[in-house]
Structure 1
Amino acid sequence: MASRSRSNSLVVPQAAQALEQLKFEVAQELGIQLPADGYYGNLLTSEAGSIGGQITRRLVQMAEQQLAGRSSR
């Protein structure tokens, strides 16, 4: 039986702090208050989805910029 990897595991564990910071920056820009205790159970699904969507857009944009920089050399 094939081994399954978890979809939420980080490929680069050292990136965890940067992703956490990005989450708080995006939430602040969207006007969503994240709880300081780390419990997100009271967060609306639409709010969590908005945060996740914006994070994904930014990460894709960063990757595209890196790839564009590599191909122009």
Structure 2
Amino acid sequence: MARNRNKTAVPGAKRALEQFKYEIANEIGLAEKIQTVGYENMTSRECGSIGGWMTKKMVQLAEQALAGQAGTTTPQQ
């Protein structure tokens, strides 16, 4: 039996990441399959799709945050 050894970088983020994973699965049409068979009975390709889309969205959010910081900073003297 496989064990998940992934640890979140921010304590307490696990619940938010699980919710995010389900939201992404819903967006790409896999939420119903997760509900019926569970993650453990999905293909590697399906799980990889969810992870890939999660990564894509997180990168977009980080880029937006960085762009917002760049627009609000003032030159230091």
Please say whether Structure 1 and Structure 2 have the same fold, judged by a TM-score greater than 0.5: yes
* 1:29 maps to amino acid: E
Could you say which residue in structure 1 is the equivalent of 2:75? none
Q: How many residues align?
A: 66
| Alpha-carbon distance change, 11 to 36 in structure 1, aligned in 2, over 3 angstroms | farther
- TM-score (ref. length: structure 1): 0.78
Q: CA-to-partner distance for each residue in 1:38-66, whole Å, 9 max, x for gaps?
A: x5221011100100000000111111111
- Work out which of the residue numbers 24, 27, 30 in structure 2 matches 1:26: 24
* 2:34 maps to amino acid: L
Cα RMSD for the two superposed structures:
1.9
SS at match of 1:66: helix
Runs of 4+, deviation exceeding 4 Å = none
- TM-score (ref. length: structure 2): 0.75
Structure 2 unaligned spans of 5+ = 73-77
Structure 1 unaligned spans of 5+ = 1-6
Could you say which residue in structure 2 is the equivalent of 1:45? 44
Identical pairs, percent: 45
Q: Distance in 2 between matches of 1:13 and 1:71?
A: 27
| Alpha-carbon distance change, 36 to 70 in structure 1, aligned in 2, over 3 angstroms | farther
Does residue 16 of the first structure (1) align with residue 42 of the second (2)?
no
User: How big is the shift at 1:8?
Assistant: 2.2
Query: In terms of Rg, which structure is larger?
Result: 2
